[in-house]
Amino acid sequence: MFKLSLAQMDIKLGDPEANFTLARQWTAEAAQRGSELIVFPELWSSGYDLENWQKHASPLGQGMFASLSDLAAEFKIGIAGSILEARNGKAYNTLTLFDAKGEQRAVYRKVHLFRLMEEEKWLAPGEESVLVETNWGKTGLAICYDLRFVELFRKYALAGAKAIIIPAEWPARRAAHWQTLLRARAIENQMFIIAVNRVGESKGEIFGGHSAVIDPWGEAIVEGDDHQSLLHAEIDMGLVDEVRKRIPIFEDRREDVYRDE
């Protein structure tokens, strides 16, 4: 069984110090509970303070990335979540996965930028999908708006992913989309979806929470509400193989029909 924790934060806009203080507190609690992984929301250290990205962003291995590495090593727990990365004079919305030794295992830069929050104005898009081998199985990485792009998730599934980690800042007014799409991605790809959304208000936008772990049948193992909370779940990764054997959609795919001429 794989134990993990979801950090459904009310992110303080442009205040990395306050956000890191809470992150440290919750990391300690998650480790004490026996979780192997804690997942934080999208841009959890700064929020959507994108116009001030130069104040918050740092290269990999420095700044908040280094702090996360140290935090993972100190509490002997894996940590995932996206923050701002400075790279070649540009800013990226970057999801990193650190293992329990504090070693960086994966880096994913958000591929699909969300125009409704002016991401394209401040951020550069990532160029590749990222699948990583972990202690609990092959895991794909995605961020928020990526959830709407079925091609990315199917690519991960066909490559052997058994879970996807998705940090997000998803508005409450589209909470129904969030909840529906999490279940759809889990059911259609017969995998676990590990999704962490923020709560609270920022720049006039209210965020919906409802962080969740959805199993390959589309059932919620744990699901939050719209309040700040640290959630915990325990999952059996063997369920992925059971479901795929029970309903063998990957064996029944007709690529000859789907392929463009």
The residues annotated as belonging to the active site are 42, 110, 144
According to DSSP, residue 249 is labeled: T
Q: Are strands 192-197 and 163-168 parallel, antiparallel or unpaired?
A: parallel
Q: Which residues pair with residue 8 across a beta bridge?
A: 229
Strands 137-141 vs 131-134: parallel, antiparallel or unpaired: antiparallel
Tokens of 56: 């918050």
Gap between the Cα atoms of 112 and 174, Å rounded: 18
Angle at 151 between CA 226 and CA 258, to 5 degrees: 140
Amino acid at 121: K
User: What's the rounded Cα separation, in Å, for the pair 201 and 187?
Assistant: 31
Helix boundaries (H) for the chain: 16-32, 53-56, 63-75, 119-122, 150-158, 175-189, 238-246, 255-258
Q: Please state, in angstroms and as integers, the Cα–Cα distance from residue 36 to each residue in 32, 61, 154, 166, following that order.
A: 10, 22, 26, 17
Specify whether the CB–CB gap between 143 and 152 falls below 8 A.
no
Q: What Rg value do the Cα atoms of the chain yield, rounded? A: 17
CA distance 149 to 146: 6
